[in-house]
Each structure stands twice: as C-alpha cells, then as structure tokens.
C-alpha cells in the first residue's frame, strides 16, 4: 500500500490544492471495517500505534477502503455483494457522501483512485452476465457515475494502481456469484481466475493466468510495490488434500513467480490468504490466513520462506512507511510486526474485519 | 487401592461408552453413510446404462424410471464431493449444475447438429465438455422439448447411450477408489499423510454437511426464488424432469443422517438437529410445488421462501453448535472470509 502522505509531502501537492489536504487533517494512518460488541458494523480510523481515532456506522458489514491521493477522504466499501460505498471525510471522521451502484451491479468490496484523484475505480459484478466490471466514478464531480468497463474476467475482487501511472491491476477471482444465491460459487466447474492489467480507458494491457492445475486458486488480494512489483494472495477452491502456493508476484511483461512455504507451514494456511502486504521497505511479502490462524513472511525478491507466526483469526495486515506492519484480528487484537519481532499493540472490543488499509 | 481403581472405572465407563472417539465417528460415517450411498449409485447408474442400451428414446418409460432412480442415488451422495469424486473432475462430470451460461443445452445441440462421432464410446465421450456429460445433460436429452427432438433419432440414441455409459463408468471409478484406498485413509486418519489427524477427517465430513446445506438453501432454493420483483422459476434445478423439490428433500434426508452421525456422543444436540431437519423435511413434504413454479406469485413464493428459511435454520444450528463441538474455527474472519 502506498504511503500517500509521504508521497504528498514529496510532491508538495498540498500547495497545489486550495482545499484541505491530508497534511491538514488529524487523519488516521489506517482504516478498517469492524463489528462492534453490539453486532453493529462500523468503519474505524486507526493511528499508526493502533489507537481507534473514530468510528462511523455502516449500513451493513464493510470490507476494504481506498484513500484519495490528495484530499483527506477515503471510500469504504460494503462487503460483497453489497450496494453501498461511503465517502468519509478523514479530517472530521464523518460520512460525506454515499455511492450506490446501478441496479444491475453490486460492489465486490474494493476500489482505487486514479493517480490525480479525479476518478474512482470500483470492482463490480454484472448481475445479468456475471461478468466482472470496473465501475467509473467522477471523484472531481461529487462522485457522479460515469459508466463501467470490463474487468477482464469473472468475480473481480481487489484492484490497485501501478505507482506513478493510471494502469490498473485487477484480481479477477474467477468465481461467479449472484446475490440471489448468496455467496455460493456458481461456476466452480469452469472457473479460471486471472490477474489483469487495464489502461484507465479500459484497454487490456496484459492478462496473467496460472497453470490450469491451479485454476481453482482464486486470485483475490493485491499489494503493489513502488517499483511496480505486484503481489497477489490467493484462495484455494480445489481439493483440501492439496496445499498449493497461495502467493504470486508479478511484474508487467514478465512471468509470474509462485511463493510457497515448507509443507507443514503451507498446510496450516488451510488454502486461504486473507490479506497481503509488502513490508520492510518492500523486501518482504507477508500474508495472513484467518482460517489457519497464521501469518507467513517471505523474501519478496527470492521468494524464500522466512517465518510464520500463529495469530488467532488474524486477517488485516498493512504496512507503514517506516516498514512496520500492523495486523488486526477478528478477536480484537492489534499487533505490530517489525524486523521479525511481533508486539501486541492493543486488545480492543472490535472484531476487525478482513482488511486494514494504510492511507 | 483396587477398590478405588474399580470405582474410578465405574464412573468413567458410561462416559467413554457414549463419547465415541473421533476415529470411530469417522469410520461409522464412511461405512454406514458414504460407502452404501456410492454402492447404490453404482447399481443405479449401471442399471440406467443397461436400460439405455435397449431403450434409448426420450419417451421410454423404462428409461425414464431408470433415470429417476439413478438421479435419486446421486442426490443422496452428491454432498460427498471430496476425495475420489474430485479426482479428474468426476464430480462435475456427473453433476454440471448450476449452469449460469446455458452451456449444457448449447453443447448438446452442437454435438447433435454436427452428429459428432465422439459418441461412439463412453471413453471418447469422457473427453467432451463437462457441460455435456452427466445427469443434467441426460435430463436435457430426455426432457427438454428442443434438445430431445433435435436432429436424428439414431444420433440422439447414441448420445443417450454414451452419456449413460459415461455416468456409470464415472460412478464406478469413484466407488472403486473409495473401497480401494480412500475409505482406509479416512478410517486411519492420523496415521497417514492425507489425513494427518482424526479431526482433519472429521472436519472434511463437517465441510460436506455445511456445503451440502448451503447448496440446497442458496442454489436449489435461492436460484428459482430470485427476487420478489424478478422470480426465476426457469432456474429451478432439474425442472424439466420435475425433480426440483425432490432434490431438496433427498439432500436433506442425507444431510440429516450425516449431521446425526457427526453429533454422536451428544444426545441433546442430536435431538435438536433431528428436530430442525424434521421441520425442514416436513415443510418440503407439504409444499405441493415440484418445480417451484409458484415463485411467480406472492403466495407460492412465500411457501418456497419458508422452506428456504427452514433449511437456513438447520444451517444456523449446525454452525453454532455442531461446528464448535468438532473444533471448527468459527471466528469473524475465519468462518466468513472473502
């Protein structure tokens, strides 16, 4: 996840904008959706030490969020197949605006802004064809819906932008679902996930598919390093007897690399990566598996497995510009991880949802 | 000393007698739930292929009866998707549904239009798209007004024979792997690499129960229900042969048996599960709407929704009570990730 505030300082972007910038805001370092003790759903802003700075009620369970590159605002998405996204003023911690997709679309839970912040891209489902779409919203004009374009696959989930460009990278998970049949997969017999690179105008630049033996590996979550290296976390929908690699790294124009832990650690992941992040200045890739109650760390360059740590129901993970990562769990824990050392930063009453988003 | 020891035994005995070990529960499920169902599937699909050898026309009563018997046998075991059923995609080869892109009808129509000679043997037919294989494809050939009358009778006859022979061969392969190796791996969970502990095997069986319930609630019932404004009766499973509701009942019967066995050692939970399943099965028995055509009108829709709700209540009990008993992680993220 890009550290937008540090980027901004570098660009002097605050000076270009007459309105409030991230630098003016007492803004959080992270956002995360969460469930409160009373069962209600919220979006929370967290400090870099893991303190909860604000919470905003959500109509239903949330999922991920995306930060605007200039204005101190973020968009928080409904969990799929949700139909809301909240624009949050991070200076005040208030809901500023709400997005609703067209009637024949729903959100998948992730989105990303264009480099200049004028456009918001959201992963969506076409409810008639079950093809993946990327929704386009005019972030310079009150988030008016502009239209949409093909995602290059089925079940697009996470979406990121290659740093310094408006090239989009999309994790097309490959799994077709329809809200009328809940979250149950409709196309396991034919599923074929991919990692797709799209120009901002929808031009398909590159599509990466893994070997057919891995076609049950749903490519779902992404992180991008400043030099354009993409890391993707996968979720295995094939035989529980198999423990295939759950991480790929890829750079445009090159071949994808698979990262795999030794057999016993790999098995403990239960075929599931919940979140993925580059950490330690991009030298490492870390993933969480709430199903396995495990975090794994790999060398981003060599792909070598470095370590694993048991963390109950851990899922959210994201990295500060310092290189330190924060990890959240469904049982309220917040941990810091830096240079191989894990520190418990807090034990809250919030059930932290799948993703922790650095802003 | 001896007296104290025997007193302890007396106290412990009743406990160990009811709290069967995980390995025993798994072995009983393999021997009394899974193997008999796969054996029945082999019998019924072989009978179907034999009938098709002599009677291959769509309207033939003997062929239709054999089709229904084989489909019944499949639905009764279709929740056991792991192990031999997932080898070489056998599960999908028997059971290609839901078919969101209408591939089955199109694939069959193409084969018929081309009079594709691939139907000459079951072995060759096993290489065609899974959309044109299995029981759902056979249903199209026997009951779909267009596909069942397309092209030449002789070609469709050969197609029915190829599909039924392929179904029988696939069922036989699954059963042979179960009896040959896989049943022993499950019984010996903890002493082999496939199942490294007894609870790994038990969790796979629990997964079959929850996935089976999800399939029935979300797909068998959820697909035709659609939304209030846009009900989707045409999406009901196996509606052409009038089997939609029957599949709900058959699957619930099998899942009730599996749930009961998984709850072994906890009489209270067994009773609670049996009660919930009975309520759902009763709702299915009283629903006089075999293909959920009633979803199109508000009254009829309400009754199908009520049945779905009863299945949902079974799911809730299974995940809140049975899952934790079997040590399945039920965390906010682990249970319900994305």
For residue A93, what pLDDT is reported? 87
Considering only CB atoms, B82 lies closest to which of A184, A240, A330, namely A240
Answer for the pair B17, B151: CB distance below 8 angstroms, yes or no: no
d(CA B154, CA B40): 30
Instruction: Measure B100 CA to nearest chain A CA, in Å.
Output: 7
Considering only CB atoms, B130 lies closest to which of A189, A220, A312, namely A189
- Tokens matching residue B272: 């609670």
Alpha helix locations (H) across chain A?
4-11, 13-16, 263-268
Answer for the pair A159, A134: CB distance below 8 angstroms, yes or no: yes
User: Which of A181, A310, A315 has the most B C-beta neighbours within 10 Å, making it the best mutation to test the interface with B?
Assistant: A181
**Rg for chain B, CA atoms, rounded:** 22
**Looking at chain A, which residue has its C-alpha nearest residue B182?**
A241
Considering only CB atoms, A274 lies closest to which of B204, B207, B333, namely B333
Answer for the pair B225, B304: CB distance below 8 angstroms, yes or no: yes
A276 class by beta-carbon count within 10 Å (0-12 exposed, 13-18 middle, 19+ buried): buried
Residues 6+ apart with CB under 8 A from B313: B276, B279, B280
Query: Across the interface, do B333 and A240 touch by the CB < 8 Å criterion?
Result: no
List chain A residues with CB under 8 Å of B83: 241
d(CA B17, CA B227): 50
Strands (E), chain B: none
List chain B residues with CB under 8 Å of A183: 218
For residue A10, what pLDDT is reported? 38
d(CA A207, CA A309): 33
Instruction: Measure A23 CA to nearest chain B CA, in Å.
Output: 33
List chain B residues with CB under 8 Å of A65: none
Query: Across the interface, do A291 and B217 touch by the CB < 8 Å criterion?
Result: no
Query: Across the interface, do A331 and B332 touch by the CB < 8 Å criterion?
Result: yes
**Looking at chain A, which residue has its C-alpha nearest residue B212?**
A184
Name the one residue in this structure whose structure tokens are 């092209």: B151
Q: Structural domains in chain B?
A: 23-183 (1.20.1420.20), 196-327 (1.20.120)
Q: Residue A90 gets which letter from DSSP?
A: T
d(CA A197, CA A208): 9
Assembly ipTM? 0.87
List chain B residues with CB under 8 Å of A239: 82, 86
**Strands A156-161, A168-172: parallel, antiparallel or unpaired by DSSP?**
antiparallel
Considering only CB atoms, B338 lies closest to which of A35, A109, A186, namely A109
Name the one residue in this structure whose structure tokens are 């540090």: A6
For residue B21, what pLDDT is reported? 87
User: Which of A189, A243, A292 has the most B C-beta neighbours within 10 Å, making it the best mutation to test the interface with B?
Assistant: A189
Phi and psi at A295, nearest 5°, equal -115, 140
Mean pLDDT by 10 residues, chain B (338 residues): 43 40 95 98 98 96 98 98 96 97 97 97 95 98 97 97 98 98 96 92 95 97 95 97 98 98 97 98 97 96 98 96 85 82
**Looking at chain A, which residue has its C-alpha nearest residue B332?**
A330
Strands (E), B41-82: none
Instruction: Measure B210 CA to nearest chain A CA, in Å.
Output: 12
What's the half-sphere exposure (Cβ side, CA atoms, 13 Å) at A147? 5
pTM for the model stands at: 0.91
Query: Across the interface, do A186 and B98 touch by the CB < 8 Å criterion?
Result: yes
Interface of A with B (CB under 8 A): 35, 63, 79-80, 109, 130, 157, 176, 178, 180-184, 186-190, 220, 235, 238-241, 267, 272, 274, 290-291, 293, 312-315, 329-331, 351-354
- Residues forming beta bridges with residue B296, ordered by sequence position: none
Distances (CA, A) of A259 to A123, A266, A298: 26, 10, 8
**Looking at chain A, which residue has its C-alpha nearest residue B93?**
A189
Interface of B with A (CB under 8 A): 82-83, 86, 89, 92, 96, 98, 100, 103, 130-131, 194, 196, 204, 207, 214-215, 217-219, 222-223, 225-227, 232, 329, 331-334, 337-338
**Looking at chain A, which residue has its C-alpha nearest residue B82?**
A239
d(CA A31, CA A273): 20
Residue A112 three-state SS: strand
Considering only CB atoms, A313 lies closest to which of B222, B334, B338, namely B334
Considering only CB atoms, B337 lies closest to which of A184, A187, A291, namely A291
Phi and psi at A247, nearest 5°, equal -130, 135
Query: Across the interface, do B329 and A293 touch by the CB < 8 Å criterion?
Result: yes
Query: Across the interface, do A181 and B223 touch by the CB < 8 Å criterion?
Result: yes
Size of interface A-B (CB pairs under 8 A): 92
Distances (CA, A) of B10 to B2, B24, B144, B186: 12, 22, 65, 32
List chain A residues with CB under 8 Å of B222: 180-182, 184
Query: Across the interface, do B333 and A290 touch by the CB < 8 Å criterion?
Result: yes
List chain B residues with CB under 8 Å of A312: 331
Instruction: Measure A188 CA to nearest chain B CA, in Å.
Output: 9
For residue A339, what pLDDT is reported? 85
Answer for the pair A280, A320: CB distance below 8 angstroms, yes or no: no
d(CA B332, CA A33): 12
**pLDDT per position in chain A (359 positions), as tens?**
444 444 433 343 434 445 677 776 667 999 999 999 999 999 999 998 999 999 999 999 999 999 999 999 999 999 999 999 999 998 888 999 999 999 999 999 999 999 999 999 999 999 999 999 999 999 999 999 999 999 999 999 999 999 999 999 999 999 999 999 988 999 999 999 999 999 989 999 999 999 999 999 999 999 999 999 999 999 999 999 999 999 999 999 999 999 999 999 999 999 999 999 999 999 999 999 999 999 999 999 999 999 999 999 999 999 988 888 999 999 999 999 998 899 999 999 999 999 999 98
Query: Across the interface, do B337 and A235 touch by the CB < 8 Å criterion?
Result: yes
Instruction: Measure A177 CA to nearest chain B CA, in Å.
Output: 10
- Tokens matching residue A97: 């605006």
Neighbours of A175 (CB within 10 A): 22
Q: What is the DSSP string of B152-189?
A: -HHHHHHHHHHHHHHHHHHHHHHHHHIIIIIHHHHHTT
B/e letters for A11-30, b = 16+ CB within 10 Å, e = fewer, are: eebbeeeeebbbeebebbbb
Instruction: Measure B222 CA to nearest chain A CA, in Å.
Output: 5
Query: Across the interface, do B329 and A291 touch by the CB < 8 Å criterion?
Result: yes
Q: Residue B122 gets which letter from DSSP?
A: H
Q: Residue B332 gets which letter from DSSP?
A: T
Distances (CA, A) of B71 to A159, A327, B76, B151, B251: 42, 49, 9, 26, 12
């Amino acid at each position: 996840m890009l550290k937008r505030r540090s980027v901004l300082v570098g660009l002097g972007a605050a000076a270009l904008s007459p309105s409030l910038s991230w630098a003016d805001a007492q803004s959080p370092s992270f956002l995360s959706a969460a469930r409160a003790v009373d069962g209600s759903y919220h979006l929370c802003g967290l400090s870099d030490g893991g303190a909860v700075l604000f919470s905003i009620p959500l109509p239903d369970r949330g999922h991920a969020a995306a930060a605007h590159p200039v204005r101190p605002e973020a968009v928080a998405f409904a969990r799929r197949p949700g139909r809301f996204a909240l624009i949050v003023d991070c200076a005040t911690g208030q809901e500023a605006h709400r997005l609703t997709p067209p009637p024949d679309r729903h959100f998948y839970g992730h989105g990303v802004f264009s480099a200049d912040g004028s456009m918001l891209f959201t992963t969506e489902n076409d409810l008639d064809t079950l093809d993946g779409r990327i929704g386009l919203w005019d972030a310079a004009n009150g988030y008016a819906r502009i239209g949409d374009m093909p995602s290059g696959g089925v079940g697009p989930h996470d979406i990121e932008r290659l740093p310094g460009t408006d090239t989009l990278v999309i994790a097309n998970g490959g799994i077709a679902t329809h809200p009328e049949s809940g979250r149950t997969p409709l196309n396991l017999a034919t599923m074929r996930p991919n990692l797709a690179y799209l120009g901002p105008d929808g031009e398909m630049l590159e599509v990466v598919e893994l070997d057919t033996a891995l076609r049950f590996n749903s490519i779902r979550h992404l992180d991008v390093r400043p030099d354009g290296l993409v890391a993707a976390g996968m979720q295995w929908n094939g035989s529980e007897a198999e423990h295939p690699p759950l991480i790929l790294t890829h750079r445009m124009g090159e071949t994808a690399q698979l990262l795999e832990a030794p057999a016993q650690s790999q098995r403990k992941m239960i075929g599931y990566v919940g979140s993925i992040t580059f950490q330690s200045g991009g030298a490492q890739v870390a993933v969480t598996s709430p199903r396995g109650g495990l975090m794994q760390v790999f060398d981003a360059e060599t792909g070598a497995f470095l370590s694993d740590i048991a963390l109950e129901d851990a899922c959210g993970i994201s990295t500060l510009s310092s290189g330190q990562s924060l990890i959240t769990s469904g049982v309220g824990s917040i941990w810091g991880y830096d240079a191989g050392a894990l520190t418990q930063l807090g034990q809250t009453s919030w059930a932290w949802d799948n993703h922790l988003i650095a802003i | 000393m001896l007296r104290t020891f025997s007193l302890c035994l007396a106290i412990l005995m009743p406990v160990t007698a009811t709290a069967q070990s995980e390995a025993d529960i798994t072995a009983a499920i393999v021997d009394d739930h899974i193997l008999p169902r796969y054996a029945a599937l082999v019998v019924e699909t072989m009978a179907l292929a034999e009938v098709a050898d002599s009677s291959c026309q769509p309207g033939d009563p003997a062929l239709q009866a054999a089709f229904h018997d084989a489909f019944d046998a499949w639905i009764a075991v279709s929740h056991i998707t792991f192990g031999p059923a997932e080898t070489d995609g056998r599960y999908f080869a028997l059971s290609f549904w839901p078919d969101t892109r209408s591939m089955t009808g199109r694939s069959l129509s193409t084969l018929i239009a081309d009079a594709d000679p691939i139907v000459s043997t079951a072995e060759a037919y096993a290489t065609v798209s899974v959309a044109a294989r299995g029981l759902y494809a056979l249903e199209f050939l026997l009951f779909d007004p267009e596909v069942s009358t397309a092209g030449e009778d002789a070609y469709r006859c050969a197609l029915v024979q190829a599909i039924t022979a392929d179904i029988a061969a696939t069922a036989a392969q699954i059963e042979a792997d179960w009896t040959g190796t896989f049943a022993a791996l499950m019984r010996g969970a903890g002493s082999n690499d496939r199942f490294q502990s007894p609870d790994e095997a038990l969790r796979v069986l629990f997964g079959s129960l929850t996935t089976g319930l999800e399939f029935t609630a979300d797909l068998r019932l959820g697909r035709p229900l659609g939304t209030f404004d846009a009900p989707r009766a045409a999406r009901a499973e196996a509606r052409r042969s009038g089997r939609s509701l029957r599949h709900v009942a058959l699957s619930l019967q099998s899942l009730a048996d599996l749930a009961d066995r998984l709850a072994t050692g906890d009489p209270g939970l067994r009773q609670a599960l049996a009660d919930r399943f009975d309520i759902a099965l009763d709702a299915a028995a009283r629903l006089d709407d075999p293909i959920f055509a009633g979803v199109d009108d508000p009254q009829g829709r309400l009754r199908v929704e009520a049945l779905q709700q009863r299945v949902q209540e079974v799911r809730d009990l299974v995940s809140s009570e049975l899952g934790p008993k079997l040590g399945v992680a039920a965390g906010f993220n682990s249970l319900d990730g994305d």
